Amino acid sequence: MRIGELAGMAGITTRAVRHYHRIGLLHEPPRQPNGYREYSLRDAVELARIRRLTELGLSLDEVKDVLADDVGKDLVEILTELDADLARQEEAIRRRRARLRLLLGQAEHTGQLPAEAPVSPELTALFADMARASARLPGPEPAMAAKERELLALLETGSPGGDRGWLDALMHTLNADPDAMRRAYEVYAQLDELAEATEDDVRVEAAARAIVDSIPEAAARAMNIPADGDVGEDGGFADALFSDFAPAQAAAVRRAIALLQERAR
């Protein structure tokens, strides 16, 4: 039996057969005097088994381990692990589809999704509230509001399924206090006014205190701000965050953190 017949019998390509030869997965018979390789029925049986195992989801390395064990005990172990892995993938797909249904439902209801999508249902609801608050403003939305949404989406991405106390506290405050969103947008506007200001601008202190007043005690505790020391002086995330602000805005945020540290002592 030539390689084309062998491949056709197993339902794969001759290129795949040659690849199996190269990686040592399938025995490669010596060439006959006529230059062709002659394959036996045993080769076809082995190749068909390789195909069945790969269709189950085994990698070629795992298939090689199975074929090396005549007793078949490794096959049971590998199939058990494969079944557990497929179960995990199935659960992950179920969660992803649930998220997609929520996003598609929101898009159908509102006609659009936030620019930061996809985010959690909690942040989706918060961003929708922000959009409604922005629509009630006389002018365009403050640039700092969009920056905050980006930051919240980033923080949530960095803690999926982890510590969400900061988000829970934020949502609780906004839901319990109908005036909280208005105050937040007043802070955004104050920070926008500092975009072209210098660090020693007299408005920096007022903006910092407005930031602190807009953060409830529970949310401040959940943020885990260190009680002492400067934040963002040693590189890392905080430093990158401050570098994204204008100098006066960064000064206001740093001062707000210092005030929060004082409040926590």
* Average pLDDT, rounded, for the chain: 80
Mean pLDDT of 18-30: 90
Q: Per residue in 183-230, pLDDT tens?
A: 889 999 999 999 999 999 999 999 999 988 887 776 666 666 655 555
Amino acid present at 205: E
CB 212 within 8 A of CB 225: no
Comparing 39-43, 110-114, 241-245, the range with the smallest average pLDDT is: 110-114
Q: Which residues pair with 37 in a beta bridge?
A: 31
Spatial distance between the Cα atoms of 148 and 150, rounded to a whole number of angstroms: 5
Residues 186 and 183: their CA atoms lie apart, in Å, by 5
What is the end-to-end Cα distance of the chain in Å, rounded?
84
